[in-house]
Chains A and B, each alone.
Chain A
Amino acid sequence: MSALFRLVGIGGVLAYRALFNWTTPGMFVGTLLVGPLFQLLFFAYLGRQLQVADDRFYIVGNAVLAASLACVFGGTMAVANERRYGTLGHVLLSPRSRTAIFLGRALPYAGNGLLIAVVTLTGGSLLLGLHVPVAALPGLALALAVGALACGFFGLALGALGLRFRDVWLVSNVSVALLLLLTGVNVPARTLPAAMRAIGQGLPITHAAEAARRLVAGQSLAAAAPALAAELAIAVAYAVLAAVLLKVFEIESRRRASLDAV
């Protein structure tokens, strides 16, 4: 069991340091901390001008969404960069469980996403004057963590496509843009067509944002629990999907001898 924890924990951290492109301080702050904060301000001011919703709607929603950038691109890098750096074959030669190797990689990204979400929420609240009730903080931390975890596994499922498709960055870029639209973070879900709402229900962030908004509005953790449970279920579903896709595409790419094709 300790070997498994070592593989998941230390292996995940090593892979994070080796494969995540944004670990240098300049890249980390610029891309992952400043970028999401300006995204929050952009939509908050747009929402103010159009009178779509109040600041709280945008601050909380965009703070939860802030985790997605690190998690979606991180998950993609966790797999696609192995191929890019020519180390994928070495990883797959290991006799250890693929599921443990790759699912462990999502955890540092989820932790990273949580940090970014907290910084974005704090920055947005201070800049725009949102008061978050102290009693809501534990539940809010839980909502941000579950959202980041769901995003981490979602990113890993997208990263698995990197074993099969060459332009996996295209999928990541479009996915991040779609999360902006479909999760109800910036456009109130009730104003979206039914099909878009249905897709949004199956994406990470949607339920975590709903739970976080309830908590910041002063509702109890019990009131936010159904949304938190839905987000957790989505996280598990994407973890299973990522494991299956990684297995299937590994077999397929070994059969087609396309493992290191870039």
Chain B
Amino acid sequence: MLAVGTLLHAKHLSRSPLEITIALLVPVVQATLAVYLFRSGAEPHRLLEAAVGAGLMGVWSSVLFGSGGAIQNQRWQGTLEMIMLAPRPPALVILPITLATALTGTYAMIATLLWGRLLYGIRLDFADPLAFAAAAPGCVLGLGMFGLLLASTFVLLRNANALANTMEYPIWLVSGMLVPVTVLPPWTNPIAAVLPTTWGARAVREAVTGGPVWPSLGICLAISAGCLVLGAVSMSYVERRARAAATLALA
């Protein structure tokens, strides 16, 4: 059910020219920005990290806005009641949507890597290509599970996009997707430590530059699994509450 649902929603998202173009163009602009910043700064040798970091930022944006819109889009399409009527736990119905947003977010990663290779001649010299091949999808899976927790909190909010808009840059910043967490104020460290995005980004970066990929990936997936459980419980609770208050389909 999860696989079929994820495929269905990934196909659905991939049918939207708007979603696809934004998923491809915006990360490419961000990758270009990152490349020029790294070139003009003290780190011109880290262009591959810049391209991968910009790609990860795109994956997060896709998960964030996809999860924020997962419930709202179903509301607008008039299908929210139908999917909540299905004789399955609500988390199992919504998780494929958030996984699909993470999956389509990989378009961003592919786009930034291709853009960097073709336009700026960035060599795709991954320190550990096998680990990268595991870390990138692992990170995507982790973010998809984290998305369920986000989606469950967004059920009760009519304007979930406000929260989604607010969370884009903070997570990019605190997770060290482009800015190393070491340059951030110390009080951000505990926040970074509990976010799966931090560990996912670290795993992918270590696969690119060298380092212990597997512990970071393991922590990312462990935190994400925790988010999945929390999200499932929260989703069941808020779904029941929304049905009791008759606010499920209020757009």
Contact = CB atoms under 8 A, between A and B. Distances in A.
Contacts of A181: 29, 32-33, 36
A42 B172 contact: yes
B173 interface: yes
Contacts of B29: 174, 177-178, 180-181
B169 A39 contact: yes
Interface in B158-185: 159, 161-163, 165-166, 168-170, 172-173, 178-180, 183-184
Contact of A186 (B33, B163, B166): B33
B40 A52 contact: yes
Interface residues of B, number: 34
A46 B172 CA distance: 11
A126 interface: no
A27 B159 contact: yes
Contacts of A31: 161-162, 165-166
A35 B165 contact: yes
A114 to B, nearest CB: 20
Nearest to B180: A49
Contacts of A30: 162-163, 165-166
Contacts, number: 98
A46 B37 contact: yes
Interface string B17-49: 110011001100110110011111111000000
A187 B166 CA distance: 23
B18 A170 contact: yes
B168 A49 contact: no
Given A39-B169, A52-B41, A181-B32, 7 more contacts: A34-B166, A42-B172, A42-B173, A50-B38, A177-B29, A187-B36, A191-B39
Interface of A: 22, 24, 26-27, 30-31, 34-35, 38-39, 41-42, 45-52, 167, 169-170, 173-174, 177-178, 180-181, 186-188, 191-192
30 contacts: A22-B162, A24-B159, A24-B162, A26-B162, A30-B166, A31-B165, A35-B166, A38-B168, A39-B169, A41-B173, A42-B173, A42-B179, A47-B41, A50-B37, A50-B40, A167-B17, A169-B18, A170-B17, A170-B22, A173-B22, A174-B26, A177-B26, A181-B32, A181-B33, A186-B37, A187-B37, A187-B40, A191-B39, A191-B40, A192-B36
Which 9 pairs between the two chains have the least Cβ-Cβ distance? A50-B41, A38-B169, A191-B40, A30-B162, A30-B166, A27-B162, A177-B29, A31-B165, A52-B41
